[in-house]
Amino acid sequence: MSIQLKLKKGETVERGLKRLKKILDKEGLLKTLRDQRYFEKPCVKARKKSARARIRARSRRRSQEM
């Protein structure tokens, strides 16, 4: 998998980097690289996943109450 980004005419390098980061974020590539940087036990992964789900559910409940 390769991602090529060509700068448009008159586009700055900073703007090109911003576009590249947006593309990588959209594909989820950076997130998977960060997740795979260190080995994580399956039980730790499950614990983190359930904690994130609890936080999402709590925020949904709060938004529905308002």
pLDDT for 57 beyond 70: yes
Q: What residue spans define the domains of the chain?
A: 13-65
Residues of the chain above pLDDT 70, percent: 98
pLDDT for 56 beyond 90: yes
Nearest-CA neighbor of 54 among 65, 46, 66? 46
Question: 26 with 43: CB under 8 angstroms?
Answer: no
pLDDT for 10 beyond 90: yes
CA dist 33 and 10 (Å) reads 32
CA dist 20 and 43 (Å) reads 34
CA dist 62 and 47 (Å) reads 23
pLDDT for 46: 96
